[in-house]
Amino acid sequence: MIRKHVIVRGRVQGVGFRYITSSIASKYHVTGWVRNEYDGSVEIEVQGPEHRVEMFLNELGQGYRFARIDSMDVTEIPTINALKEQQFRIRH
């Protein structure tokens, strides 16, 4: 089990990027959250088995039709108790 902190920069706000992120998280059965930041970036924390987190990050990094990803800064952080976080959420 691993947890990653991710900052995504580019055209990632106002284009449905948080919803796409949530959809990809559901596909790979990982938990965590995503939210917009004031500087125009998107912040993500994602947790799950290492191979699932890596597949999530790989697909996320491919972008999609309306978003443009200029950079993704990924850092490994301590995991949290799975009982405290059982799904992937969009934070507002």
Which helix (H) or strand (E) segment holds residue 18: the answer is: helix 17-28
Look up 65 and say whether it is catalytic: no
Look up 36 and say whether it is catalytic: yes
- The distance from CA 55 to its chain's CA centroid, rounded to whole angstroms, is 11
Tokens of 38: 């004031």
Q: Catalytic: which of 18, 58, 68, 91?
A: 18
CB atoms near residue 64 (< 10 Å): 15
Q: Catalytic: which of 9, 11, 36, 89?
A: 36
Nearest in space to 9 (alpha carbons), one of 59, 61, 64:
61
Give the catalytic positions in this structure: 18, 36
